[in-house]
Amino acid sequence: MATNQDIIGRENLDDLEAILAVSNHDVDALVHLVQANSDVLFTWDYEQSRQPLIKLYEKAKTSQWNSSTDLDWSIEVDQAAQVIANAEVDLNGPFSGGLDLKGTAFESWTDDQWVQLGIEGQNWTLSQFMHGEQGALICTAQIVETVPWIDAKYYAATQVMDEARHVEVFARYLDEKLSGHYPINAHLKMLLDDIISDNRWDMTYLGMQIMVEGLALAAFGFIHQMTSEPLLKKMLRYVMSDEARHVAFGVLSLQEYYAELTLPEIRERQEFAFEAAVRMRDRFLQQEVWEKMGVDVKEAMSLVIQDEGRQMFQSMLFSKIVPNCKKLGLLDAGEGWLRQKFTELGVIQFEDWTDTGEEYTLLDEVAKDRASA
């Protein structure tokens, strides 16, 4: 049986030395090569026989939006004012759990330093979303090539367009409204490389549609609820409409395929889901932000791990992933191996929350806007 050391390279999930040992060594590079070894599959069976995927494809065709005309890019954004406004309502901000900061670098921080931390945190967060969306763009293009069903190829093609639009809007918002990009986080980069290089089409689905997109959908929902900035709020709401379909695509496709797999094959998928969950959790420790703020990174990250408010925020990011894994049969297969691992991560409490198989119809903001026009 694989151990934490075998899967994620460390036994202790909170081993900061091991987390910090994962670093991005080519931050100045403009291109990044990943060797993909997937087979490209044609299918000569053009019958659309999977009704849930047909329904999803029809929804995708009528829910496209134009980032240039559906969003008001003339809106001015005062980033510092937004950080201050968010701090008044964001109970999950840095060190919000009543942590004692005496004797730390943060004890003597001024209000201006806390505001700058908020600015850097926003730049970092939206940068990672942008990089993740490019990962989704590449993965979904792979799915078009590798999935054997015509219904899935049709839908995946619509998602390629969605993901291009998402990369575009995050890049434009960072360039025009905020104050700087961050390079891709090392843990996110490692995960995307693993997803892209795996030659099994269902692993692309699991890594991207279920894990990465599931976490993104939850994170977008949280930020959408928190922010009062109108351009970001509408942009995220439109992106969430797309993301809900993307996660549903993974659930509806893998549910059929996983029913046919052997227990050893399912265990490989469980281990991959656990590794992806840990990589995404590590990514949200924001080590690049602490480096830019000039504080001891290990000290800052140890405080983040201890902070109850931050722990609650990070666990909420898995509120879409856990119920979807349960629907796919991954939680309890093999004597509940993944259930135990999600319990260790502190996220198992979300298992009975709504899965995303049908939720996308509730989040279709484009349809709502058109109906009210």
- Tens digit of pLDDT for each residue in 195-236? 999 999 999 999 999 999 999 999 999 999 989 999 999 999
Q: What is the per-residue pLDDT for 101?
A: 84
Asked if pLDDT for residue 360 goes beyond 90, the answer is: no
Closest CA to 356 of 329, 327, 316: 327
DSSP character at residue 100: -
Closest CA to 319 of 220, 233, 227: 220
As a whole number, mean pLDDT of residues 305-324 equals 85
DSSP assignment of 127-138: HHHHHHHHHHHH
Q: What is the per-residue pLDDT for 193?
A: 96
Q: Which two tokens stand for residue 362?
A: 């509730």
| Topology classification of domain 109-372 | Ferritin (1.20.1260)
Asked if pLDDT for residue 371 goes beyond 70, the answer is: no
* Per-residue pLDDT band at 91 (split at 50, 70, 90): very low
**Range from 295-304, 333-342, 359-368 carrying the lowest mean pLDDT:** 359-368
Using a pLDDT cut of 70, give the percent of the chain over it: 94
Domain boundaries, the chain: 109-372
Q: What is the per-residue pLDDT for 100?
A: 79
**Beta-carbon neighbour count of residue 7 at 10 Å?**
15
Q: Which two tokens stand for residue 232?
A: 């970001």
Predicted confidence (pLDDT) per residue in 128-173, tens digit: 999 999 999 999 999 999 999 999 999 999 999 999 999 999 999 9
**Helix (H, G, I), strand (E, B), or coil: what is residue 177?**
coil
Long-range contacts of the stretch 229-232 (C-beta < 8 A, 24+): 229/77, 229/82, 230/72, 230/75, 231/71, 231/72, 231/73, 231/75, 231/77, 231/173, 231/177, 232/77, 232/173, 232/177
As a whole number, mean pLDDT of residues 71-92 equals 83
Q: Which amino acid is at 21?
A: A
As a whole number, mean pLDDT of residues 26-35 equals 90
Q: Which two tokens stand for residue 272?
A: 């991959």
Plot region of 39 (φ>0 → left; ψ -120 to 50 → alpha; else → beta)? beta
Predicted confidence (pLDDT) per residue in 310-319, tens digit: 777 788 899 9
As a whole number, mean pLDDT of residues 285-293 equals 93
Asked if pLDDT for residue 80 goes beyond 70, the answer is: yes
Q: What is the per-residue pLDDT for 373?
A: 59
Asked if pLDDT for residue 111 goes beyond 50, the answer is: yes
Question: In Å, how far are 55, 65, 217, 320 from 286, measured between CA atoms?
Answer: 39, 31, 19, 22
Q: What is the per-residue pLDDT for 328?
A: 96
Asked if pLDDT for residue 338 goes beyond 60, the answer is: yes
